[in-house]
Amino acid sequence: MIWKLLTPADTGLLYADLDVDNNGMPTEFDNLTKPASAPDVSGGILWADTVNKMIYLYGGEFYQSSPQSFSLWSYDAIYGNWTTVNPDPSQANVQRSSYGAGVVAEDIAKGFWYGGWLSNTTIPAWGTAPIALSNFLEYDLVHNTWTNNTGPDSIGRAEGVMVYIPASDGGMLVYFGGLQDLYGNGSSIVAQPMDVILRNIHILAMN
C-alpha cells in the first residue's frame, strides 16, 4: 500500500493498492478525510507501521495558516481514525521541520528524518529567516520514543533524499542531494555536491 498526503489545498490522504493492477499502475483511491484539527501540511513524511496498520505524520509546513505547536499525529488504517500520539518525554526537544530527508525502516519499526527547514511555516512565532537543521531524528514506532542526534557535521541540510538499505548488521541509511545552509542562518544556501554521499551519517566521498 502507498500512502500520500496531498497538498494542503486538497487536505486529503491518497492511497494506492499495489495488489490492484490498473493498466500497469496501482489503482488510486479517493481521498480519505481527516478532522480539521489534523494539520494540513506539505513537505512532511508518513512513517508506516505495517504490523499495526498505523501511519505517523511528522514534519511539514502549513499553508495559509499559522503553524501549530508540534505534536505527532497517527492514522489507524483499519479504523480510519486520526489521533494525536500521547507524547513521550523524549519528544520535548523535537521540533517540526519541512522538506527534510525522511524514510521508514519497516523491518525495525523506526522512522528517520534528517535536516529540513525551520521557518514561520513550521514553528509558531519563528520570526527569523528560514534555516536548515543539521539534526538527525529517530522515532521508534513501537515504543513511541525519540532520539535527537547531531548529524555528520554542523552544516544544515534540506530537500535531499534518504533511503534505507536493509542489511544483516541493522541496515544502512544513505543521504544525497538537496541544499546546504553553510552558516546555519539562511544567509548562504548552496547545492549539496553530488560527489559526496552521507552514509550512516558518516561522510563518504565518492571517486
Q: Which three cell numbers stand for residue 31?
A: 481521498
2-205 fold: Neuraminidase (2.120.10)
Handedness of CA 46, 173, 96, 54 (dihedral sign): positive
Contact 163, 176 (CB under 8 A): no
Residues 192, 126: Cα–Cα separation, whole Å: 25
Residues 62, 58: Cα–Cα separation, whole Å: 12
Phi, psi of 8 (to 5 degrees): -55, -30
The pLDDT value given to residue 171: 83
The pLDDT value given to residue 167: 76
The C-alpha torsion from 130 through 135 and 141 to 146, rounded to 10°, is -110
**165 DSSP β-pair partners:** 172
Q: What does the pLDDT profile of the chain (207 residues) look like in tens digits?
A: 554 554 455 566 777 777 777 777 767 666 677 788 888 899 999 999 999 999 999 999 998 788 999 999 999 988 888 999 999 999 998 999 999 999 999 888 999 999 999 999 999 999 889 999 999 999 999 999 999 998 888 999 999 999 999 876 668 899 999 999 988 777 788 999 988 888 876 666 543
The pLDDT value given to residue 175: 94
Q: Which three cell numbers stand for residue 103?
A: 524514510
Q: Where are the domains of the chain?
A: 2-205
Q: Which three cell numbers stand for residue 105?
A: 525502516
Residue 206's alpha-carbon distances to 179, 198, 203, in angstroms, are 18, 10, 10
